[in-house]
Amino acid sequence: MTLASQNARQGALPATPASNSLLKAGVIVLLLGVGFLVLPPLLYLAGSALRPGTLGALSGTTILTLAGKSLSLAALATLWAMILALPLAWLVVRTDLPFRDFCRWLAVIPLAIPSYIGALIYIALLGPVGMVNSWLGDLTGVPQQWVNIYGYWGGVFVLGLFTYPYIFLLACGALETTNPAIEETARSLGEGPLGVFRRVTLPMLRPSILAGGLLAFLYALSDFGSLSLLRVHVFTTEIYHQLNTRFDQSAAAMLSFVLVLITFAVLVGQRVLLGRRSYVTVTGTARVARPVRLGRWRWLAYVLAGGVLGLSVFIPLTVLLFQAGSASQFADVFLEQWGFFKNSLWTAGVAATIAMLLGLLIAYAALRAKGSVGVGLSGTVQIGYAIPGTVLGLSLILLYNTYLPWVYGTVGVLILAYLIRFLTQSVQGVEAALGGINPHLEEAARSLAASPGAVLRRVLAPLVRPTLFAVWALVFISAMKELDATLLLRPAGFDTLPVRVYIHTVEAEYAKAAALSLLLIAFTALPWLVMTRLREKKIV
C-alpha cells in the first residue's frame, strides 16, 4: 500500500542537533515576528471591547441574532461555493472536458472581481428595478417585481459566487498532486467510481477542501461591502455602522471582538477535523492522472461548467462592459488613472511576495514544530483574517501613529495591513500542500546521501512549487481588491484601484466605476494568466 494513514504532525523530522537548534531559533523568531504583527491590534481590540459599559444601545439578544445570521449566511455561502467549485475542479483536472485549461483559467477570474463589485452588478441585473425585472415586465406585459436580489439570500448567492475559486484552486491543486495510482489501485481492487471518489479521492482532498472552504467562510464572515450594498444586516455591517455613526468605538470593538472569537472557534473546529486523520503520499512523483472520458455525460458537463462560469464570469463582465461605455472613454479612464494602477500593483505585489515567503516559513515551522507552538503560530496568523478591515484600519492608525510614526503615513502600513489580513491564505495553502508530503520522504532522500540542496531542489520544491505560485496569486488578488482597511490607511494622495472604484460608485459615476472595475479585474487576473501560460510550457 502506498497510502499511509497517520498523523503527519507527529511524524516530526529527526534532524541533526545543529539544524534542530537553528530550526528552533527560527521558529522563535517567526513566532515573535508574527506576534508583533498580529497581536497588537488584537490586544487593542480586546482592551477597548472589555471596558465596562461598552454595549451602548446594543443588547445581548441583538448580538446573538446578528451572530446567528452572520454565521448561517457564511455557512450557506460556503456550501454554495463548494457546489460551484468541486464538480468544476474535478471536470477540469480529471476529465477530457474540451477547453478544460481555458475553463480552469476562467474559473479563477471571480476572485479578481471584488464582491462589492459583484453585488453592484447583480443589483443592476436582479434588483427591484434591475434589467431582468424590466425585461420580464416588457415580455409579459405585467410590470411587477419578479426577482429581488436584496436581502439574506442575495448575500448568500453573491458571496458564494465570488468566493468559490478559493475552494476550486486548492481542490485543483490537490487533485493534481494526489497520486492517481492510489485511486487506480482502489479501482483494481473492485471499488466502483463512486466508491473510489467517496473512500479514496474525497479523504485525500479533504484538507484542501477544508482549507479552501475555510477561506471562503472567513471571507463571507468578514465581508462588509457586498452585504451592505445588498442591504443585509449582519455583524460586519453593524460594526461599520457603529464606527461611522458614533465616536465612542467601544461597541464596535466589542462586536469585532465577538467576531474574532467566533473565528477562533471555527479555526479550532477545523484543526480538530483535520487533526484526526491525515493522508500523506509516500512516493514523490506527482504523476498526472489519465483523464476520465466524459462520453455521453459531456452535455451535462457543458451545462455545469457553462452555468458556473456564466454566472460568475461572463454575466458580470458583460454587465460591466455594457456600463463602461465606449472604447475611447475606457482609454481615457485608463490614462487618467494610471498612477493608481501603479499604486495597486506594487503594493499588492510586495505584499504577496512577502506573504508567500513568510507563509512557507510559518507553514513549515507549524507543521514540523511539535505540538502547541506550531498550532499557536498558524492560529495567530489566521486570527488576522477575522478582524474586519475597518476595525483593523482604525486600530493600526492608533497603534502605528502613536508608537511607530515613521511607518504610519507611508505605504508600509498598507502592506502590513495586507499581511495581517491575508498571510493566512498563504499559510493555509502551503500547510495543506506540505501536509501531504511525508516527512520520511526528505529523510529517505537524505539517508541516500542526497545533498541538502538536492533534497530541496528535487524532493520538496517540485511538490510544493505549484502551491507556492497559487498562494502568491491568492494574496496578490486579495491585496489588489482590499478596500476597507485601505480606505483608512492610505496616505493622502495614494489611492488604490478599489478606492477609486469606491469613490466613483459613491459619487454615482457608474461608467467610470465600471471601466475601472474591468481594468482592476484584468490587472488582478494578469499574474494568473502569466502563471498558467508558464505552467503549460512547463517552466514552473
Nearest distance, CB of residue 70 and another protein, angstroms: 14
- The region of 286-294, 391-399, 470-478, 514-522 touching another protein under the rule CB under 8 A is 391-399
Q: How far apart are CA 234 and CA 223, in angstroms?
A: 10
Nearest approach, Cβ of 212 to another protein (angstroms)?
A: 24
CA–CA distance, 317 with 327 (Å, rounded to integer)? 15
Q: Which of 487, 523, 526, 535 binds another protein (CB under 8 A)?
A: 487
Cα(469)–Cα(430) distance, integer angstroms: 10
Residues 217-236 interacting with another protein (rule: CB under 8 A): 228-229, 231, 233
Please, what is the minimum distance in Å from the beta carbon of residue 10 to another protein? 17
Lookup result for grid cell 540542496: 453
Burial class (CB in 10 A: 0-12, 13-18, 19+), 78: buried
Question: Rule CB under 8 A: is residue 311 a binding residue for another protein?
Answer: no
- Using CB under 8 A, pick the residue from 194, 402, 448, 539 that binds another protein: 402
Segment interacting with another protein, rule: CB under 8 A, options 126-134, 195-203, 517-525, 528-536: 126-134
Contacts (CB under 8 A) with another protein, residues 506-535 = 506-509
Task: State the minimum distance, in angstroms, from the CB of residue 500 to another protein.
Answer: 9
Helix runs in 178-279, H state only: 180-188, 193-196, 202-222, 225-229, 235-245, 250-276
| Gap between the Cα atoms of 323 and 415, Å rounded | 32
Convert residues 6-35 into a mask of x (bound to another protein by CB under 8 A) and - (unbound): -------x-xx-xx--xx--x--x------
Rounded least distance, CB 336 to another protein, Å: 12
Strand partners, 278: 6
Question: In angstroms, rounded to a whole number, what is the distance separating the alpha carbons of residues 176 and 156?
Answer: 29
Give the Cα separation of 520 and 515 in Å (integer).
9
Which helix (DSSP H) or strand (DSSP E) does residue 280 occupy?
strand 278-281
Q: Which residue is associated with the grid cell 465581508? A: 223
Query: In this structure, are residues 239 and 262 in contact, taking their beta carbons and an 8 Å threshold?
Result: no
- 67 lines the binding site for another protein (CB under 8 A): no
Stretch that binds another protein, among 161-169, 258-266, 375-383, 395-403 (CB under 8 A): 395-403
CB of 329 vs another protein, minimal distance in Å: 16
Q: How far is the CB of 81 from another protein (least distance, A)?
A: 25
Is 361 a residue that touches another protein (CB under 8 A)? Answer: yes
CA gap 180, 186 in Å, rounded: 10
Using DSSP, state whether 143 is helix, strand or coil: coil
Task: Rank residues 210 and 485 by Cβ distance to another protein and give the closer one.
Answer: 485
Q: Report the chain's C-alpha Rg in angstroms.
A: 24
Residue with cell 531559533: 25
C-beta closer to another protein: residue 293 or 370: 370
Cell numbers 472569537 correspond to 261
Span 417-446, contacts to another protein by CB under 8 A: 442, 446
Enumerate the β-bridge partners of residue 3: 281
Binder of another protein out of 61, 144, 188, 245 (CB under 8 A): 245
* Binding flag, residue 397, another protein (CB under 8 A): yes
**Residues in binding contact with another protein, number by CB under 8 A:** 73
d(CA 284, CA 2): 11
| Of 203 and 409, CB closest to another protein | 409
Q: Which of residues 456-475 bind another protein (CB under 8 A)?
A: 456, 459-460
For residues 248-307, which are near another protein according to CB under 8 A? 249
What residues numbered 40-59 form the site for another protein, per CB under 8 A? Answer: 57
